[in-house]
Homo-oligomer: A and B are copies of this chain.
Amino acid sequence: MIRVVKIGGNVVDSPALLAQFCTDFSALAGPKVLVHGGGVKAGAIQRALGQEPVRIEGRRVTDAATLEVVVMAYAGWCNKDIVARLQACGCNALGLAGCDGGVITAPKRPPKTLSDGVTQVDFGFVGDVTPASVDAEFLRQLLDAGLVPVLCAINHDGHGQLLNTNADTVASCVAAALGAELIYCFEKAGVLRDAADGSSVIPRISAADFARLRADGTVSDGMLPKLETAFRALEDGAPRVVVCHAANLLNPTSGTVLTLNGE
């Protein structure tokens, strides 16, 4: 069984967490893929460069200057730092953006209509990744060769344009395309029944459970899109999703297991 592991900015930004995670990820047996977010580095560089983030109705616009920074931060520093750390742990990591070997090719997001129902806004150099965007055969060739693909969320449109995409979505689509288990590593022990109680981990969630947890407000805020993305991976071919603390990668049963039917 192939495993796709996703780490977010909270792990990438913490030298201690990242060092521990790289050791653990290297020790994880079997074929595996890592997908990483970019953390706060891109924002810090933007501020240092005096770039003003542009937002329309709360959503960030990726203009040319922003794209350059996110490509530098995610595909440059974060990706190569992680790959070099994994190599030092004996893990034969290979860093990839979507353009590399054409591993992920996604169309640029079309303009969206604003809340006035009329105004069309182009959110810039952003791509929408689906499982069909992923060259699963190429990833399998790399895995068969003993390599460990390390994907950042920078992709391309196949016509020479780099695009910023969402790392949770990239991980979900890669897992679906590979029929792989998906492990979301983050800073909590799993999906919590009570956000204030770190020990209130819900051990298993089915699609029916998720509908109830969403309806009664147990799952809300940032966890909602993460679980929506996770259930989309299940619907698209991933056999199961685990949501766990980054420090528990080697003990993922400590977290929450998501399956369509609860088994």
The SS class assigned to the A binding surface is helix
Check if A87 sits within 8 Å of B72, measured CB to CB.
no
Q: Tell me how far the C-beta of A86 lies from the nearest C-beta in chain B, rounded to whole angstroms.
A: 8
A71 surroundings in chain B (CB, below 8 A): 76-77, 80-81
* C-alpha spacing A220/B57, complex, angstroms: 59
Q: Closest 7 CB pairs between A and B?
A: A76-B76, A72-B72, A88-B160, A72-B76, A84-B99, A84-B156, A83-B99
Binds B, one of A90-98, A107-115, A251-259: A90-98
Contact with B along A32-52 (1 / 0, CB 8 A): 000000000000010011100
Residue among A88, A99, A102 with the most chain B CB within 10 A?
A99
Given A94-B101, A95-B99, A99-B95, are A160 and B68 also a contact pair (CB < 8 Å)? no
Answer whether residue A158 sits at the interface, using C-beta atoms and an 8 A cutoff: yes
Q: Tell me how far the C-beta of A93 lies from the nearest C-beta in chain B, rounded to whole angstroms.
A: 7
Check if B72 sits within 8 Å of A100, measured CB to CB.
no
Give the number of times this chain occurs in the complex, counting copies. 2
What are 16 A-B contacts with C-beta separation under 8 Å? A48-B49, A68-B77, A71-B80, A72-B73, A72-B76, A76-B76, A76-B77, A81-B162, A83-B97, A83-B100, A84-B160, A84-B162, A88-B158, A93-B100, A93-B101, A94-B100
A207 surroundings in chain B (CB, below 8 A): none
* C-alpha spacing A100/B74, complex, angstroms: 15
CB nearest to A88 among chain B residues: B160
* C-alpha spacing A84/B68, complex, angstroms: 13
Given A49-B48, A68-B77, are A145 and B154 also a contact pair (CB < 8 Å)? no
Check if A158 sits within 8 Å of B102, measured CB to CB.
no
Answer whether residue A159 sits at the interface, using C-beta atoms and an 8 A cutoff: yes
Q: Tell me how far the C-beta of A88 lies from the nearest C-beta in chain B, rounded to whole angstroms.
A: 4
Residue among A73, A80, A101, A156 with the most chain B CB within 10 A?
A80
